[in-house]
């Protein structure tokens, strides 16, 4: 059984935009609400996924992979930071 839909969304738009959306809904055989909800949900999902994934062409991927596979270089400021942390009691207490 589909989830009960109680929420609503009010949107202001021009007459032309509404006409276009209605034509799209009609052409796809969907109600206006179903058409708008499907389109908005798809765009929202894309926006959210764009925050997590990015696409690289093969050459750029290979270049990045090569850089990441090389051993890191010590940064003096981090070396000093870790040396100092080892001298602090809580850093060596194991919890």
pLDDT at 52: 76
What residues have CB less than 8 Å from 86, skipping those under 6 apart? 92
Q: Most distant CA pair in the chain: distance in Å? A: 71
Which carries the bigger pLDDT value, residue 1 or residue 82? 82
Does any domain span residue 5?
Answer: no
Count up the domains in the chain and report the number.
1
Does any domain span residue 1?
Answer: no
Does any domain span residue 82?
Answer: yes
Task: Label residue 94 by pLDDT band (50, 70, 90).
Answer: low
Rounded CA-CA distance 88/55 in Å is 43
| Model pLDDT for residues 11-69, shown as the tens digit of each residue | 999 999 999 999 999 999 999 999 999 999 999 999 888 777 777 899 999 999 999 99
Range of the domain at 56: 15-92
The pTM is what?
Answer: 0.53
Does any domain span residue 7?
Answer: no
Does any domain span residue 9?
Answer: no
Does any domain span residue 3?
Answer: no
Burial class (CB in 10 A: 0-12, 13-18, 19+), 36: middle
């Amino acid at each position: 059984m589909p989830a009960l839909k109680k929420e609503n969304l009010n949107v202001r738009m021009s007459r032309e935009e509404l006409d276009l959306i209605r034509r799209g809904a009609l052409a796809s055989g969907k109600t206006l609400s179903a058409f708008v909800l499907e389109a908005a949900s798809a765009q929202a999902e894309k926006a959210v996924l764009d925050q997590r994934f990015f696409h690289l062409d093969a050459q750029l991927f290979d270049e990045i992979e090569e850089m990441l596979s090389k051993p890191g270089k010590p940064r003096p400021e981090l070396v000093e930071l870790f040396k100092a942390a080892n001298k602090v009691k809580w850093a060596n207490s194991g919890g």
